[in-house]
Amino acid sequence: MYNASVHPVVFRFAFEAGTSRGVLREKTSWFIRLKKNEVEGWGECSPIAGLSPEPLEVIEAKIMTVLDEWQKDPAAILDSNSRWTEELRQWPSLRFALETAWLDYTNGGVHTLYNNAFVKGMQAIPINGLVWMNTLEHMQAQIEDKLKQGYQCLKLKIGHHDFAAELNLLKRLRDRFPTKELMIRVDANGAYQKHTVYPMLEALAALDVHSIEQPVAAGQMDLMSDLCKNSPLPIALDEELIKHRLKEERADLLHQLQPAYLVLKPSLHGGMMGCKEWIELATQQNTGWWMTSYLESSIGLNAIAQFTCEYETSIFHGLGTGQIYTHTIASPLEVQTGQLTYHPMKKWGSPLDLS
């Protein structure tokens, strides 16, 4: 029989990570190890308090319960026809960790999930540089830092400050760099209201912003449908996707809203299985998509990057290297001039080094 175990690690941010739910200073990841005959596969369960659907106060107990069954037959539980499929839809970050650990194990336990060009060091992934919510001065400093690093796409989290001040920040950036030199995305995390959202979208569109993620709070179907159809700025859905767990529900959502883009996170949107469903449905109706990490460390990021490169996509994705933390797990992942790369000759560390 396989041996499955869980190893929690508390990561501390190297800066104040401003989100729509306040400032994050630390985050726990639960690393799952699947071991048999000296081969071990690792996965990362990385929920975020207040954002993930999983109740964090009971997640470790849930992990232990699932692992007790999973180690008996890992492949069977992850099968789409398993009785566990519906239950794991309620625990997307756990499903993602199980998928990652199993793929790692079955490929020899060397953190190779997919034998594609990325993991061979032959293909890089273009990524956006993320500018976190903070004071306007600190956001400007982040912008300058990302530009020096060679990013050709920046994503700014907005909706925290006065809109005019944020718009001025974006205008100064656009005045320096035309669209052909710099793509600008924004993420409002549902900050805008029905009676003010259209003038804001028009102002952002005037700056040739690429897209806006979740301009209004999730669950306002009529409003979001209207925005997707009539906004002067392309709409990307993120939080709107979370509660739609069945494929039929997802198909209905996309048919009703018809967004320009989906922002997919395996830890939030059903693991790799769930993201495959979203991608399939998006492709059927010519909806664009990009993949984004969810504050995972290098274990989770590696899995997302390899999964992303299973698809032919040249769009900028929202990935990094886990360097947002004061300590991390050594890996072959590296960002070079705004692209995520993999260096096969570099060695992996282990979550056990930190736990």
Residues classed as catalytic = 157, 265
| Angle made by CA atoms 350, 299, 302, in degrees to the nearest 5 | 130
| Angle made by CA atoms 140, 146, 150, in degrees to the nearest 5 | 140
Nearest by Cα to 251 from 282, 291, 273: 282
Task: Quote the longest CA-to-CA distance of the chain.
Answer: 62
3-class secondary-structure state, position 2: coil
Residue 169, token pair as written in the block: 């920040």
Q: How many CB atoms lie within 10 A of CB 331?
A: 20
Q: Alpha-carbon torsion 293, 299, 305, 306, what sign? A: negative
CA 232, distance to chain mean position in Å, is 26
Q: How many CB atoms lie within 10 A of CB 23?
A: 13
- CA dihedral 343→349→350→353, nearest 10 degrees, is -160
> Which helix H or strand E contains 4, and what residues bound it?
strand 3-19
Q: Are 259 and 235 in contact (CB under 8 A)?
A: yes
